[in-house]
Amino acid sequence: MKDNIAVVGLQWGDEGKGKVVDLLASDMDIIARCQGGANAGHTVIVGDKKYVLHLIPSGIIHQEKICYIGNGVVLDPFGLLEELRILDKESIDYKGRLFVSASANLVLPYHKLLDQIYEERRGGAPLGTTLRGIGPAYRDKVARCGIRLSDIFDDKILLEKLNDIKTLRAQIFEPYQDDERCDYDAVFDKVCSIREAFAPMLTNVSSEMHRLDAEGKKILFEGAQGALLDVDHGTYPYATSSNTTVGGILTGLGIGPRMVGTVVGVVKAYCTRVGAGPFPTELTEETGELLREKGGEYGATTGRPRRTGWLDLVALQHACRINGVDQLAITKLDVLDSFETIRVCLSYRIDSELVDTFPVDPYALEKVEPVYRDFPGWKSDTSSITRFGHLPQEAQNYIRFIADETGTEIKLVSTGAARAETILV
């Protein structure tokens, strides 16, 4: 099997992929993002520095690694340039080691306005998107009226495409005449102004992946969001607009399945979700609040408080299957350190029937009554432990149970946000 690694989220995002990617990247040569956009917020802590990356692969912090953004990503070019300015401030030199697919679809200002309009028009049931224009940009991509990065270098193509969009969207933008985000002349000028910055980053990511793989370079594929936000396999319509599972890596970079290598799934020792949608094990009272406070569960992109709950094995098994997960990276174990009892959902009761597969009908999830197994807590500090055998027996049992139930190996256990707070198994 290839030495390449795919790192994917197994819940509703924010599992700690940024930390895991940063950690595993030290043994890899290349880090590639394949889907999603600036809706992602991947946190990497190095010493006393904290980096929150939205579009740039988390491997960029390692000064010698080469990073790619694939065609499957919807790229907010202005957002990317802002992120680069943060790297400049931190003296992280990215020149010659960050490349972007020429066929990535762009997120332009009018996509953000559309995201807001669609949310408002959903009335009482907005999705709680990140308002980063993700859904509208993927919508344009699939409707074949998106603007791709390569288009921005040709005035004629860019103008033609913007004109088509102007016609298509005339009605919906009618009440927003004064909003700069749907002023197409302003968008044209803004896009033209970034040509120079993007020209050296433009590349054919698919052919680069094949060349690098053939040269024996080790590639880490960095997933964004998580399996339960996958547009096909997640809690649709309360999902994002991309395939957040392994399939998204293949189409989002233009590679075949054999290039992927080992699939590492990242899972929190409990569950969180930002935005609306079903969450069977959600805790809305004191315990949920405690998880949020101990885990610092506030969105890395939007700052919104994250909803919290116990680990859901029905959902986790589903996530492992649809990704073909080989190994788990279990994060934020330390957040459970002070709990007397830790609960894990083993099956669902739906209309008084016991169900142990994740329902295909997402509306059934609204009716779920979780069936729990209780584990005794370990009630001690795990944050400085670096060996699995040194963890309290109760914590070892908890982790082994998760591995057994999902039929996976444990790759690592994270007990804090810092690089050193990790148990490599």
Residues that bind ligand IMO (CB under 6 A): 9, 12-14, 39-42, 127-130, 132, 134-135, 224-226, 229, 240-241, 274-275, 300
Q: Is 174 helix (H, G, I), strand (E, B) or coil?
A: helix
Contacts (CB under 6 A) with ligand GDP, residues 303-332: 331-332
How far is 112 from 173, CA to CA, in rounded Å? 12
Nearer Cβ to ligand GDP (45/355): 45
Nearer Cβ to Mg ion (6/395): 6
Which stretch in 86-94, 155-163, 390-398, 413-421 sits in contact with ligand GDP by CB under 6 A? 413-421
User: Is residue 359 a contact partner of residue 350, using CB atoms and an 8 Å limit?
Assistant: yes
Q: Which of 11, 13, 107, 370 binds ligand GDP (CB under 6 A)?
A: 13
Cα 291–Cα 58–Cα 67 angle in degrees, nearest 5? 160
Which stretch in 23-31, 143-151, 180-188, 411-419 sits in contact with ligand GDP by CB under 6 A? 411-419
Q: What is the CA radius of gyration of the chain?
A: 22
How many H helices and E strands in the chain? 12, 20
How far is 374 from 345, CA to CA, in rounded Å? 9
* Position 14 contacts Mg ion (CB under 5 A): yes
Q: Which of 22, 42, 111, 213 is catalytic?
A: 42
* Position 297 contacts Mg ion (CB under 5 A): no
CB of 43 to ligand GDP, least distance (A): 3
Q: Which of 7, 11, 33, 41 binds ligand GDP (CB under 6 A)?
A: 41
Q: Which of 271, 300, 319, 395 binds ligand GDP (CB under 6 A)?
A: 300
* Position 18 contacts ligand GDP (CB under 6 A): yes
Residue 229 interacts with, from ligand IMO, ligand GDP, Mg ion, none (CB under 5-8 Å by kind): ligand IMO
42 is catalytic: yes
Nearer Cβ to ligand GDP (282/366): 282
Dihedral sign, CA of 134, 245, 209, 5? Answer: positive
Sequence-distant (≥ 6) Cβ neighbours of residue 240 within 8 angstroms: 36, 39, 129, 134, 135, 225, 229, 230, 231, 234
What is the per-residue DSSP string for 57-72? -GGGGSTT-EEEE-TT
CB of 425 to ligand GDP, least distance (A): 14
How far is 174 from 52, CA to CA, in rounded Å? 36
How far is 386 from 219, CA to CA, in rounded Å? 26
Sequence-distant (≥ 6) Cβ neighbours of residue 302 within 8 angstroms: 41, 130, 131, 274
Nearer Cβ to Mg ion (50/349): 50
Which stretch in 38-46, 73-81, 358-366, 398-406 sits in contact with ligand GDP by CB under 6 A? 38-46
Identify residue 370 by its one-letter amino acid code. Answer: P
Nearer Cβ to Mg ion (13/309): 13
How far is 356 from 369, CA to CA, in rounded Å? 12
Nearer Cβ to ligand IMO (65/268): 268
List, in sequence order, every residue forming a beta bridge with 342; answer none if it has no partner: 375
CB of 199 to ligand IMO, least distance (A): 28
Identify residue 179 by its one-letter amino acid code. Answer: D
How many residues are listed for the chain in this entry?
425
Backbone angles phi, psi at 263, to 5 degrees: -100, 115
CB of 380 to ligand IMO, least distance (A): 29
Helical residues (DSSP H) of 336-416, grouped into ranges: 393-406
Q: Which of 6, 12, 19, 249 binds ligand GDP (CB under 6 A)?
A: 19
How far is 348 from 196, CA to CA, in rounded Å? 54
* Position 147 contacts ligand GDP (CB under 6 A): no
* Position 411 contacts ligand GDP (CB under 6 A): no
14 is catalytic: yes
**Contact positions toward Mg ion, by CB under 5 A?**
14, 41, 300
Q: What is the contact surface with ligand GDP in residues (CB under 6 A)?
A: 9, 13-19, 41-43, 45, 296, 300, 331-332, 334-335, 414-417
Q: Which residues are known to be catalytic?
A: 14, 42
